[in-house]
Amino acid sequence: MTVLPDMTEAQIRRYARHIVLPEIGGVGQARLIAAKVLVIGAGGLGAPALQYLAAAGIGTLGVIDDDTVDLSNLQRQIIHRTADIGVAKAESARRTLGEINPEVTVRAHTERLTAANVERIVSGYDVVADGSDNFATRYLLNDACHRLKKILVSAAILRFDGQISTYKAWQGEGHPCLRCIFPAAPSEDAVPSCAQAGVLGALAGTLGALQATEVVKEILGIGRSLSGRLITYDALDASFDEIAVAKRPDCPTCGSR
Residues annotated as catalytic are 194
Strand 105-109 relative to strand 60-64: parallel, antiparallel, unpaired? parallel
User: Residue 63 belongs to what H/E stretch?
Assistant: strand 60-64
The residue among 45, 23, 17 whose CA lies nearest residue 128 is 45
The C-alpha atoms of residue 141 and residue 132 are separated, in whole angstroms, by 10
